[in-house]
Amino acid sequence: MLYRPDRSGNQISQLGYGCMRFTRKGGGIDYEKAAREVLFAIEQGVNYFDTAYIYPGSEACLGRILAENNCRDRVYIATKLPQYLLRSAAAIDRTFDEELSRLRTDHIDYYLMHMFTDLAEWRHLQALGIEDWIEKQKRAGRIRNIGFSYHGEPEMFLQILNAYDWDFCQIQYNYLDEHTQAGRTGLRAAAEKGVPVIIMEPLRGGKLVALPEAAQRLLAADGSGYSPAELGLRWLWDQPEVTCVLSGMNSEEMVRENVRVASEARPGCLSPESRRTVEQVRQILREREKVGCTGCRYCMPCPAGVDIPGNFHYYNLMYLEKKGAARLEFARNMGLRRDPGFAAQCVGCGKCEQHCPQHLPIRARLRDADRALRPPPYRLGISIARRVMLPKAKSEKSPR
């Protein structure tokens, strides 16, 4: 196993274990199976384990495994504060104490503010006294490193990154999401500040494993011998700005294979041929897209506040993945921002089309995207979720 350092000098295994996808059985987590896989990963050198308050049963399962096998001191635990559920300082305390109890530990090594999409979410926590709370927990040794996980767009990521002296951050990043969410821009900005970056969804939830047949033929012919999963992981570890890549491993075979790759892949490990393969595979995937948007963002900012590349990204995902999954991701990552940037906000001024290097009919495609992403049931659901989770939002634009 290869390791990469954090700001304090901890050596983090460059392969981390994502505990969201523990195998489930009979309505709960299959503890015996999860224990075998976690313990095998620890023996192979994996030392970073990521869970969250809202992953059903995950914290308790991980805590039990580590406690019953006396290996808590061999690993770093990362878990997350569900900031979107909390409305008081007392709720922060209760939630954190519950997490310590579930995990059977007296401290969290890497604690994240979960699923930021907007700077306003951090401002809300600041109003609840989160900065003083963090310092108190650090002084008591109950939190060792503080960070945030992110599911928004590049500009907002940079604002959150610069809003506090973070010890680390976590972003969704893979060769399909290279220029969406925080993207390569966010990755490099964090690295320039010396902030370690943990990567989630490195294989797009398995979408970069089950490649189209044409893409698999390309990969088989390029001489590397890489599987689709290995290509995606090596693409990440090829980048020195990446600290740790999380994988939701749910078999010993998957652990073994990912550990093998993580024991070989270093910055600069991808050959020019493999880089070309990534570009060719990405092009094949893009052929399924509805809009040929490259995410260059020359169309931004929109005078009406529309997140043009964001809407096109999720619209395209509907045809790369399952439509329902793409709509849910859109609802979570864009629909719950203070300023969501819905396509319906477009006033038809056409300024975006004047700057688009692809000469896309942006206004027409935005109408298509809005109809596809927000059919009536989703529109209603997003509206209800915004009222519940953003009760004090003052600047949000009314979703039409």
pLDDT at 288: 82
Task: Tell me the CA distances in angstroms from 365 to 161, 174, 227, 368, one per residue in order.
Answer: 32, 25, 35, 5
Give the confidence band of 336 by pLDDT, cuts at 50, 70, 90: confident
Give the confidence band of 70 by pLDDT, cuts at 50, 70, 90: very high
Angle at 178 between CA 258 and CA 234, to 5 degrees: 25
CB 353 within 8 A of CB 302: no
Give the confidence band of 398 by pLDDT, cuts at 50, 70, 90: very low
Mean pLDDT of the chain: 93
pLDDT at 311: 94
Q: Retrieve residue 24's tokens.
A: 């489930």
Q: Which of 154-158, 166-170, 307-311, 379-383 has the highest mean pLDDT?
A: 166-170
CB 161 within 8 A of CB 154: no
Give the confidence band of 392 by pLDDT, cuts at 50, 70, 90: low
- Is pLDDT above 50 for 292? yes
Domains of the chain (ranges; CATH) run 3-278 (3.20.20.100), 308-389 (no CATH)
Q: What is the mean pLDDT of residues 377-387?
A: 90
Tell which residue, 126, 194, 191, 198, has the closest CA to residue 169. 198
pLDDT at 389: 81
Q: Retrieve residue 197's tokens.
A: 């970056």
The torsion defined by the Cα of 115, 119, 124 and 126, in degrees rounded to 10, comes to 100
pLDDT at 399: 44
Give the confidence band of 391 by pLDDT, cuts at 50, 70, 90: low
pLDDT at 357: 67
363-380 pLDDT, tens per residue?
999 999 999 999 999 999
Lowest mean pLDDT among 96-100, 186-190, 294-298: 294-298
Q: Retrieve residue 288's tokens.
A: 């399924």
- Is pLDDT above 70 for 140? yes
CB 114 within 8 A of CB 82: yes
DSSP string, 163-182: TS--SEEEEE--SSSTTSTT
pLDDT at 205: 78
pLDDT at 394: 41
Give the confidence band of 231 by pLDDT, cuts at 50, 70, 90: very high
Give the confidence band of 147 by pLDDT, cuts at 50, 70, 90: very high
pTM for this prediction: 0.83
